Amino acid sequence: MSRLREHLNLFLMLAPALAVVLVLFMGGLVMGVAQSLGYMPMIGKTDVTLNAYVHILTDENFLRSLALTCWIGFTSSILSTILAIVAALVLRQNLLGTRLTTFIFQLNIPVPHIVGAIGVIFLFSQSGLISRVTHLLGWTQAPADFPVVVWDDWGIGIILEYLWKTTAFTGVILLAVLRSIGEDYEDVARTLGASAWQRLRHVIIPLIMPGILRSSILVFAFTFGSFEVPFLLGKRFPRALPVLSYEYYHDVDLGFRQEAMAISVIIAVLITAIVLVYMKLSETYVRSD
Amino acid sequence: MKHRILVLLSLLVAVVLVLGACGPKATPTPVPAPTQPPTPAPAPTQPPTPVPAPTQAPTAPEKKPLGLPAPLDKMTWDDVVAAAKGQTVNWWMWGGSDVINAWVNGWLAEELKKRYDITMHQVPVAGPTEFINQVLGEKQAGVHSGGAVDIMWINGENFRTMKEAGLLYGPWAQLVPSGALYDWDDPAIAYDFGYPVEGYEIPWSGAQVVLEYDTAKVPDPPKDMAALIQWIKDHPGLFTYPAPPDFTGSVWVRMMCYYATGGYEQFLGDFNQELFDQKFPACWKLLNEIEPYLWRKGQTYPETQQAHIDLFANGEVYFRMTYGPGDAQTRIDKGQYPPTVRTYVLEDGTIANTNYIAIAYNAAHLPAALVTANFLASFDSQYNTIISLNRYSIMKESALTPEQRNLLASVKRGPAILPPEVLSAHKLPELQAKWLVAIEEGWRKNVLEK
């Protein structure tokens, strides 16, 4: 009896969250898939075809966008994870001032990405603050002398923004993991004669690996699907996939919506696939422990 | 314990919601109007205003219904104004100009409140597709009244798209009092990018492309398109244009195409695919030819006009094209541009158009939409945009009173603004909407992605 009630309670408490997920997320997904197949009764299209996918996947521009998006996603998640590990290792030591440093380190977490992107433009564009300083110092003569960091070929501006934001995010997670582990394992390793590198490589990293994997999945999924940062800091061509999708969606020709939705569905499928692979990876990691 | 916190939290949320819901309703009650000093000081930033702006033209109280389309078909103008009282008007408009946004939320919002008790709510958008999608989506969903869009700043292919899809309220523009201020026989007013207006939108402003440059950096700017192209090649990295479909980038591409294809006259009619395929490769060739000499070697283009403004203001590029002949002066006055910036038009001429205010067919606040659109087109509002946004009069001279004409004649222009005669002597027409779309698409395929 009380068992049943517990279940009912559980269900009732989860219902609002489930409703949001199912109705808003799944509903949107279903409509997106339908539109990507060309089912758009409001503009008189009811034929279901795979034309948009064929068109997109054979389009060189799409493939270039896909490559760029993968590059941005992988580079920013790998680099930010490495930086976050280093930062967390430094910050967990209870030295003088680390509390303040930790606070400063976390300060940018509530700042929206769009603000960070504008900040990157202000700082790193060819007529940005840093360029002005180098001009004052006489290192550059004109804005064009300053290296191209924003709106560049390799998405450096985009990656910089993601690093700035996600390093703190991953760092905070890893810091929490490290603190919960404590230093006992390391002390044991030390008494057995392990060097600092050996302690890091064989004790700490394996212990925090689940945390690393999970947070880097989140970072990758976010950077792969995010729109505003590549929109503001990316080159006009090729575009990151979310920006490309937005562009198709806003084309004067409503027929392009099919392509826009197809791109969005592809983004969703890719992220899901990569998350599944990651989860498999982290599972094997835990098991081998 | 946890339960108590939950209850507390939900109570808090409820209180906030209730407060939020009451807020806007509560504010109008204190009647702000009488407390305000009666002296009309319309533009405190503009000291040389010789005479205080005149009050609304004496529209004799109309007893007859105006003949507006349903649901306002029985109403006189006074009825419309009365019905608009206390309403909020949602103006969906391009929000890419900080200067215009400040005007809308400043002077305009105050005047609407003071004169008509209407609250202005600006909905800034990046492009017209946003409100087209909004109204279209509502129509598809069967929301035929109470829509999110009341009035829109619109012209060209977007007006055509909306009118043809039945997304606009009308005809009304010639029925409201301010309609009489415009010359509906003038093709520049009655046709929007070659498409008949037929009372579905009212003129709001005139636009003509000018080039901004800094005399401290370019003392002697190239006179015509040919010379400008040579200048671009001689000064690598110092010229660019916003990427179409940004409307300024789009008009710049059209102007270069007019030059490269031997003139606009051949394209004035309906869209002709054959002619397009035959003539426009010359334009793509020219644009690709100058590309290596553009900012960042043409590998990228400014995404938006604001990005281009920043590049110009920061001295990364030496020219900026704009649809607003008064933009530069406004920015000099605000300290965003150095005082040495000037504007000019190419001797080949520059493209000009008129832009308008239209009303959504399912506007939630139809009376307020009409009153606001009418006010935007009225002399008082037009005069204020002329003195504070450095615009030009597009009103019919003969429809104005002698005092109004004197007021216009006494407007003092800053040095960065060209005289109206110079502008009108260099006007080039816009093409019809389908040409525009084809040119934007052609630019993307043949220039950007090359």
Averaged pLDDT, A34-50: 82
Strand partners of residue B191: B196
CB contact under 8 A, B243 and A127: no
A7 and A105 both lie in a single domain = no
CB contact under 8 A, B303 and A42: no
Residue B192, SS3? strand
Domain that holds residue A268: 50-288
B140: contact with A, CB 8 A cutoff = yes
Q: What pLDDT does B110 receive?
A: 97
A30 and A146 both lie in a single domain = no
A28: contact with B, CB 8 A cutoff = no
Say if residue A283's pLDDT is above 80.
no
A16 and A95 both lie in a single domain = no
* Closest-CA residue of chain B to A151: B300
Where does residue A182 rank: exposed (0-12), middle (13-18), buried (19+ CB within 10 A)? exposed
Q: Taking Cα atoms as reference points, which of A24, A19, A34 lies closest to residue A265?
A: A34
CB contact under 8 A, A236 and B303: yes
Say if strands B427-428 and B350-359 run parallel, antiparallel, or are unpaired: parallel
A34 and A84 both lie in a single domain = no
Percent of chain A having pLDDT more than 90?
46
**Distance to chain A for B218, nearest Cα, Å:** 15
Number of A–B residue contacts, CB under 8 Å? 42
Q: Is the peptide bond before B71 cis (omega within 30 degrees of 0)?
A: yes
CB contact under 8 A, B129 and A250: yes
A254 and A269 both lie in a single domain = yes
Do the beta carbons of residue A217 and residue A232 sit within 8 Å?
no
Tokens, residue B199? 């009372």
Say if residue A135's pLDDT is above 60.
yes
Q: What is the pTM of this model?
A: 0.77
A61: contact with B, CB 8 A cutoff = yes
Residue ending a domain, among A33, A49, A65, is A49
B291: contact with A, CB 8 A cutoff = no
Averaged pLDDT, A215-244: 92
Q: What pLDDT does A43 receive?
A: 67
Contacts of B303 in chain A (CB under 8 A): 231-232, 236
CB contact under 8 A, A143 and B161: no
Tell me the C-alpha distance between A182 and B120, whole Å. 59
CB contact under 8 A, A253 and B437: yes
Say if residue A1's pLDDT is above 60.
no
For residue A40, the 8-state DSSP code is B
A257-288 and A241-249 helices cross at what angle (nearest 10)?
150
* Closest-CA residue of chain A to B243: A236
Which domains are delineated in chain B?
77-205+354-397+408-419 (3.40.190.10), 210-352+430-448 (3.40.190.10)
Contacts of B314 in chain A (CB under 8 A): 127, 143
Contacts of A151 in chain B (CB under 8 A): 296, 300
Tokens, residue A80? 């930010």
| Encoded amino acid at B165, one letter | A
Contacts of B161 in chain A (CB under 8 A): 252
> ipTM of the predicted structure?
0.75
Tell me the C-alpha distance between A75 and A67, whole Å. 12
Do the beta carbons of residue A189 and residue A264 sit within 8 Å?
no
CB contact under 8 A, B299 and A153: yes
* Closest-CA residue of chain B to A249: B129
B161: contact with A, CB 8 A cutoff = yes
B402-409 and B379-388 helices cross at what angle (nearest 10)?
10
Q: Is the peptide bond before B245 cis (omega within 30 degrees of 0)?
A: yes
A19 and A110 both lie in a single domain = no
pLDDT digits (tens, 9 = 90+) for A203-224: 899 889 888 988 998 999 999 9
Q: Which of B94, B316, B336 would best serve as a mutation to test chain A binding (most A beta carbons within 10 A)?
A: B316
CA end-to-end distance (rounded Å), chain B:
66
B110: contact with A, CB 8 A cutoff = no
A213: contact with B, CB 8 A cutoff = no
Strand partners of residue B355: B205
Give the pLDDT band of residue A27 (cuts 50, 70, 90).
confident
Contacts of B253 in chain A (CB under 8 A): none
CB contact under 8 A, B437 and A148: no
pLDDT in tens, chain B (450 residues): 445 554 444 444 444 444 444 433 333 333 333 333 333 333 334 444 444 444 444 444 456 888 899 889 999 999 999 999 999 999 999 998 888 999 999 999 999 999 999 999 999 998 888 899 899 889 888 899 999 999 999 998 899 889 988 999 999 999 999 999 999 998 889 999 888 999 999 999 999 999 999 999 999 999 999 999 999 999 999 999 999 988 999 999 999 999 999 999 999 888 999 999 999 999 999 999 999 999 999 999 998 888 999 999 999 999 999 999 999 999 999 899 999 999 999 999 999 999 999 999 999 999 999 999 999 999 999 999 999 998 989 999 999 999 999 999 999 889 999 998 899 899 999 998 889 989 999 999 999 987
A41 and A57 both lie in a single domain = no
Q: What pLDDT does B37 receive?
A: 38
A156 and A19 both lie in a single domain = no
A40 and A58 both lie in a single domain = no
For B98-200, list the strands marked E by DSSP. 119-125, 151-154, 191-192, 195-196
Q: What pLDDT does A183 receive?
A: 83
Q: Which of B134, B135, B296 would best serve as a mutation to test chain A binding (most A beta carbons within 10 A)?
A: B296
Where does residue B354 rank: exposed (0-12), middle (13-18), buried (19+ CB within 10 A)? buried
A110 and A240 both lie in a single domain = yes
* Closest-CA residue of chain B to A153: B299
A265 and A143 both lie in a single domain = yes
Enumerate residues 6+ apart whose C-beta is below 8 A from B193.
B155, B156, B157, B159, B160, B353, B430, B431, B432, B433, B436
The string of DSSP codes covering B265-301 is: GGGSSS--HHHHHHHTHHHHHHHHHHGGGSGGGGSS-
CB contact under 8 A, A235 and B299: yes
Total structural domains in chain A?
2
A45 and A131 both lie in a single domain = no
**CB-CB: which of B127, B161, B315 is closest to A127?**
B315
* Closest-CA residue of chain B to A122: B310
**Distance to chain B for A165, nearest Cα, Å:** 23
**Distance to chain B for A200, nearest Cα, Å:** 40
Averaged pLDDT, A229-233: 94
Q: Is B401 or A28 the better-scoring residue by pLDDT? A: B401
